[in-house]
Amino acid sequence: MTKAWSILPDEWKDILVAQGLRAFRADQILHALYRDWIDDWDQATTLPKDLRERLKVEFPLTRAEVRAVSRAADGTEKLLVGFEDGEAVETVLIPATGRFTQCISTQVGCAMGCVFCASGAQGVVRSLAADEIVAQYLLGRRRGDITNLVVMGMGEPFMNYDATLRALKLINAGKGPNLGARHITLSTCGVVPGFAKLAAEGIQFELSVSLHAPNDALRSELMPVNRRWPLDELLRACADYTRQTKRIITFEYTLIKGVNDSRACAEELARQVRRVPMAKVNLIPLSPVDHRPDLKTPDEQTLLMFLDVLMKAKVQTMLRRSRGKDAAAACGQLRLRSRAQDGRQAAFPPQKMV
């Protein structure tokens, strides 16, 4: 038994033949999956009934359901997506002029423990399988034409490398959903072995690296991953990646009041970032999280000062504005607030059920 949404379009023929089925069925199956967007084999009416019955058993469609939807005033929607074992993750849909971005999760919870991030506040429960990652995207695209996909939800993609890459390759495949590689962005907190692996894939996905501090002392305090792979090692991996792939790396820097938002931090950040050819910086004001009320968003003046220092140092920098705050869909807020007694059904207070 193999989940249909974990099979890459190019693999279908061989897999069918190995099961004693006819190779020409592959195109019909792919058409049903990724042109008709079926979510039940019975909807694949071009296929004979006995074949549909076999597909149900041997290549089941992953059952994933939208358990709740919360919608922010800015149009951002957060979906709680539940899986067959009762676990759930969150995916966020972010409309903007000319684009419709989906943010997807790769793990239930997160093991990395960045202090400012709610996803890691309760550790990791499990990694998602490739088909579960694809299922999130498929549920998203039912609600609109997704133009951009960012792997910035719950979890650390490089701690679930194989399933994440398989899912992204499937979503990118021409005979699959066919979303362009340059419209797909992976974000890592700095799990160094992932960089060389990704470079070797030869696919033009975009890569973001969560930096958040310009030196080891501060970074290790904010992000435990830095103790395992300190800045020198991380920046060397980033430089190697850009040289090998000729692709830009985007550094994410979440600004936290009085912690990493000083002029000295900005100056040190500029020096560090210049070690990596073709790097740019996204500054993101912290989205406050429930479990660390002491961490605050810097005031506007500080944000602009920080931006100014980087710009003057000729570092390509953007100051991002967080979206979806009132739906708890902003960066770092993705987390199941609590769970009901049976430990399975997530208790999620939706602002609006759809």
* Residue ranges in contact with ligand SAH by CB under 6 A: 114, 116-117, 152, 156, 187-189, 210, 252, 254, 284, 286-287, 289, 331-332
Give the CA-trace dihedral at 130, 133, 134, 140, to 10 degrees: 180
The one catalytic residue in 90, 132, 206, 252 is 90
For residue 125, report the phi and psi dihedrals to the nearest 5 degrees.
Answer: -95, -50
- Which residue, 4 or 322, has its beta carbon nearer to ligand SAH? 322
- Which residue, 7 or 117, has its beta carbon nearer to ligand SAH? 117
Neighbouring C-beta atoms of residue 136, cutoff 10 Å: 26
What is the token pair recorded at 287?
A: 């989205």
CB distance 324 to 94 below 8 Å = yes
Amino acid at 104: I
Please name which of 194, 78, 214, 227 lies closest in space to residue 143, comparing C-alpha atoms.
Answer: 78
- DSSP SS3 for 344: coil
- Which residue, 187 or 260, has its beta carbon nearer to ligand SAH? 187
**Catalytic annotation present for 238:** no
Strand partners, 252: 210, 282
For tokens 């694949």, the residue is 44
Please list the helix, strand and coil fractions of the chain in percent, rounded to the nearest 5, in that order.
Answer: 35, 20, 45
- Which residue, 94 or 189, has its beta carbon nearer to ligand SAH? 189
CB distance 327 to 77 below 8 Å = yes
Q: Which residues contact 121 (CB under 8 A, 6 or more apart)?
A: 289, 291, 335
Report helix angle 161-172 to 130-141, nearest 10.
40
**Catalytic annotation present for 110:** no
Q: Which residues contact 76 (CB under 8 A, 6 or more apart)?
A: 92, 93, 94, 95, 323, 324, 327, 329
Residues designated as active site: 90, 331
